[in-house]
Amino acid sequence: MNNSKKAKIEEKIVFGIFYMFAFIVVGILFTIVGYVFINGIGAINMEFFFGDSNPINVILGFERSFDGIWNSIIGTLALVILSILLSIPFGVLGAIYLHEYASDNKLTQTIRFSSDSLAGLPSIVFGIFGYALAIKTVGPSLLIGGLTLSFMVLPIIMRATEEGLKSVAPGLREGSLALGATKWQTITKVVIPSALPQMITGIILAMGRSAEETAAIMFTAATAFSFGIGLFNRVETLSFSLYVLSTEYSNAEELKMAYGIALVLIAIMFVLFTIANVVKNRFKLMQS
């Protein structure tokens, strides 16, 4: 066998191994989603979301739901929105400073190392820190939970923004500056619009991280029953409701409801990731 044929055979074997592992990864994903879907789809109905309350009245805020997961959905959305609003300014402005203004020195290296370390901390550590903050201030609440989650997602937004800034061609900056624009005008009018797809993707991924978090909010914000959304109140969340039902269920119906909540969480993640891809592709088309 000559070297050419041997090289082709080796190449086919290597590609075959790559395809095998790729299919295994996809298979694991479909197995998990399929298992949750089969066990949870039977729980999905109007009563599952709203209990015995009128759905329209609950959605409009005229009536509270005491049995369904609607309160958990609203609590989850409130935590996600608050954590993103708190983390975006620091994440985006921090990334702009690191990439556009700061030189590569000990300070910037320390900031990047701190950001990467923050991203690697276990969520339970954030939860304990948030709880310590809560008992010293207003107590476990939506505010403390949102603040704790903002610390968790900050590195995601910062890293995504910085990668987006790196992807902008140097010629765009140079051309803007050559036309008389200031550094800040170049960043706001040229650089950020070009980096927006990656920035939005990072923000949406951070929203997904906030929505699925359990350990951190157990200490800082979550409760099995809430009395409405308020900054200084505990809130119900999907992830915490899933945890309680899956560990303390007393019958098959409650277990099926837990699978239903898991299915709703998967659906939320799927929607967020789909939006991220659509936005990214739309901006790429607009810029091309």
User: Minimum mean pLDDT among 160-164, 218-222, 278-282: which range?
Assistant: 278-282
Burial of 266 (0-12, 13-18, 19+ CB in 10 A): middle
Mean pLDDT of 247-263: 89
Mean pLDDT of 183-195: 88
**Per-residue pLDDT band at 169 (split at 50, 70, 90):** confident
Q: What is the pLDDT of residues 69-95, one digit of tens each?
A: 898 999 999 999 999 999 999 999 999
Q: What is the pLDDT of residues 125-166, one digit of tens each?
A: 999 999 999 998 888 999 999 999 999 999 999 999 999 998
Per-residue pLDDT for 287 more than 70?
no
Distance linking the first and last C-alpha atoms of the chain? 48
Cα 210–Cα 245–Cα 218 angle in degrees, nearest 5: 40
- Domain range 71-287, CATH class: mainly alpha
* Cα 66 from Cα 190, distance rounded (Å): 50
Per-residue pLDDT for 288 more than 80?
no
Mean pLDDT of 197-210: 88
Domain spans of the chain, in order of start: 3-43, 71-287
Mean pLDDT of 2-17: 81
pLDDT of residue 252: 86
* Cα 201 from Cα 19, distance rounded (Å): 27
